[in-house]
Copies of this chain bind each other. A is one copy, B any other.
Amino acid sequence: MKVKPLSDRVLIKTLEPEQESKKGGIIIPDTAKEKPQQGEVIEVGPGRVTEEGKKIEMEVKKGDKVLYGKYSGTEVTIDGVEYLIMRESDILAIIG
């Protein structure tokens, strides 16, 4: 099944904490601040259209590893794999 996000939304395959540990790169400290999570961009929308009728290009592309806030996006499970759909503005950074 294919999922094509609308506007500036992206489909993200979440990386499990265990996977994060194996990669060893980013460790999330245990504080009151919002903790980001890692994922991989699987699909990107065509980009947002502004009030001026201008299309804003997406900054992320398929395959990018990204950081996003822990409570960002909407969960979907496709063919048994967990994904998130969120707006690009909820993505903090590209990593790798």
Contacts and interface: CB of A to CB of B under 8 A. Distances in A.
Q: How large is the interface on A (under 10, 10 to 19, 20 to 34, 35 or more residues)?
A: 35 or more
Given A2-B96, A35-B75, A50-B51, 4 more contacts: A26-B76, A26-B77, A29-B77, A36-B76
Nearest to A95: B3
Contact of A79 (B25, B28, B60): B25
A96 to B, nearest CB: 6
A75 B29 contact: yes
Nearest to A92: B85
A93 B35 CA distance: 25
Contact of A6 (B34, B59, B77, B79): B59
